[in-house]
Amino acid sequence: MIAVQGLSKSFGDKTVLDRIDLSVAPGESLCVIGQSGMGKSVLLKCILGMVAPDAGQILWQDRPLDGARRAEFMQQFGMLFQGGALFDSLSVWQNVAFRLRQQMPDQQARRIAIDKLARVGLAAETADLMPAQLSGGMAKRVALARAIAADPRVIFFDEPTTGLDPIRARRINDLIRGIVRSTGATAITITHDMESVRSIGDRVALLQQGRIAWQGPVSRMDAAPELAEFLGHAPQ
Ligand SMILES: Nc1ncnc2c1ncn2[C@@H]1O[C@H](COP(=O)(O)OP(=O)(O)OP(=O)(O)O)[C@@H](O)[C@H]1O
């Protein structure tokens, strides 16, 4: 379980996160939505230890995520970066196996990479291509394969459908849903895309003015007045 307790962060006199409480149960998929600039990335960076909060703490399995526990946590998480963020100078399989190669011989890492590429619908021949040779949808799949390469127990998806047309976005959402369900991983997704929320999420949290303005099961979001603006319709 991952929990955020009383998390606050300001930059200068701008309060971005204001005593945020949020938790994700093991195997649960939480989507965090919010307008641009509302602090979704800052929240993610605080969870990942890339930004130090002014107050509050992150708990993992009911204990503060600090020191040695953070190192252990980092071994068990995977991340799909916004925009994919593939390393241009590395081939597809080297991108997918980036972390694995620090732990095992290349031959074994390559085999796992090809297996993960198959999991996201890419043929083995893709393994030796360079990122510049990939279409946007393929690059996203490669980034997804990299996120799951080490069989993480916790996966973060940062804007997974950004830059994709609706058909490709739907395919990525379907893939993510399949991966999250079949691996039983805990998932936290940051997104603007309500189709992603419907497809991937069990629960959704709306970040607004530094606070969680609404959170609840995806099945109840259509009735939430707080979400009407995102859903593009009046509450049903
Ligand atoms: N290192 C920083 N220094 C100063 N201000 C920052 C820093 N990082 C983020 N901010 C500010 O915090 C606010 C929230 O930014 P954040 O990137 O978390 O928004 P977001 O909700 O992820 O937006 P988007 O959906 O556009 O990615 C913004 O006003 C941003 O300018």
- The pLDDT value given to residue 54: 96
Q: Is 163 exposed, middle or buried (0-12, 13-18, 19+ CB in 10 A)?
A: middle
pLDDT by residue for the chain (236 residues), tens only, comes to: 899 999 999 999 999 999 999 999 988 999 999 888 888 889 988 998 889 999 999 999 889 988 788 888 888 889 888 766 899 999 999 999 998 898 899 999 999 999 999 999 999 999 999 999 998 889 989 999 999 998 899 999 998 888 888 888 898 899 899 988 888 899 999 998 888 999 999 999 999 989 999 999 999 988 888 888 777 765 66
- Residue 195 tokens, joined: 């189709």
Q: How far is the CA of 10 from the centre of ligand 1 (A)?
A: 10
State the pLDDT at residue 234: 58
pLDDT of 134 = 93
3-state secondary structure 147-160: HHCCCCCEEEEECC
Q: Which domains does the chain have, with CATH numbers?
A: 27-41+77-231 (3.40.50.300)
Closest approach atom of ligand 1 to CA 207:
21
End-to-end Cα distance, the chain: 32
Would strands 55-60 and 2-11 be described as parallel, antiparallel, or unpaired?
A: antiparallel
CA neighbours closer than 13 Å in the CB half-sphere of residue 97: 22
Measured from the Cα of 190, ligand 1's closest atom is 22
Ligand 1 centre distance from Cα of residue 192 (Å): 15
CA distance 212 to 207: 5
**CA of residue 210 to ligand 1 center, whole Å:** 11
For residue 204, the model assigns a pLDDT of 95
The predicted complex's ipTM stands at: 0.95
Q: Which two tokens stand for residue 77?
A: 């998480």
> In the prediction, which pLDDT does 200 show?
93
Compute how many other C-beta atoms are within 10 angstroms of the C-beta atom of residue 222: 14
